[in-house]
Homo-oligomer: A and B are copies of this chain.
Amino acid sequence: MADVYIALLHYPVYNRSGAVVTTSVANMDIHDIARAARTYGIKKYYIVTPLAAQRKLAGDILRHWQTGYGARFNSSRREAFAITDLCATLDDAMGDIASLSGCTARLVATGARLRGRISYAELREKLREHSGAWLLLFGTGSGLAVEILDRADYSLQPIKGPAEYNHLSVRSAVAITLDRLLGI
């Protein structure tokens, strides 16, 4: 079984107009995605933003739940935040994974607009067969910029429901993706 990591990128991502921007870290993204990551056995959840002030703010929130009053108030939140980390760039996350797992992570891009080249069933099978590290990339805003997509080894099919509408929150998209790939 592969070691699966996830990263939530706040840069480079598109805004609604198609410009490449840096989005703000949202508190609910920290909590909901950490809890889903912990539920599905993710090795580490990286919150990626190049803005030092945003990393400072998110770091204060993380520490509250990792070692502060929050850790005593809610031990299940502490468990989820124990695998949550901050970094400035995707390369930093890749470097951390390399130091933890001893190998270069395969990169999987996700997004509502991707013309995915790999299905959930195919990727699920690969994760089961491989023993290396895999990093699933999720974009905030209106999705990952092309420079990230170009680096990915795979891009995953978008999540589709029975309706034509596909505007899930990134929190819902992460939850559904992890359930499809790693749920039992």
Interface residues of A (CB under 8 A from B): 16, 28, 31-32, 35-36, 38-41, 74, 76-77, 79-80, 159-163, 165-169, 171-176, 178-180, 182-184
Q: Which B residue sits closest to A79, measured CB to CB? A: B165
Contact check, B161 vs A40: say whether CB atoms are below 8 A apart: yes
Which residues in B have their C-beta under 8 angstroms from that of A161?
39-41, 178-179, 182-184
Q: How far is the CB of A89 from chain B (nearest CB, A)?
A: 27
Known: A28-B28, A172-B171. A179 touches B159 (CB 8 A): yes
Say which residue of B80, B159, B160, B173 sits within 8 Å of A167 (CB atoms).
Answer: B80
CB pair A175 B168 closer than 8 Å: yes
Q: Which residue of B lies closest to A179 (CB)?
A: B176
A50: min CB distance to chain B, Å = 25
A28 to B128, CA, bound (A): 34
Residue from the list B162, B163, B175 in contact with A176, Cβ < 8 A? B175
**B40 close to A169 (CB less than 8 A):** no
A172 — which chain B residues lie within 8 A by C-beta?
Answer: 32, 35-36, 171-172, 174-175
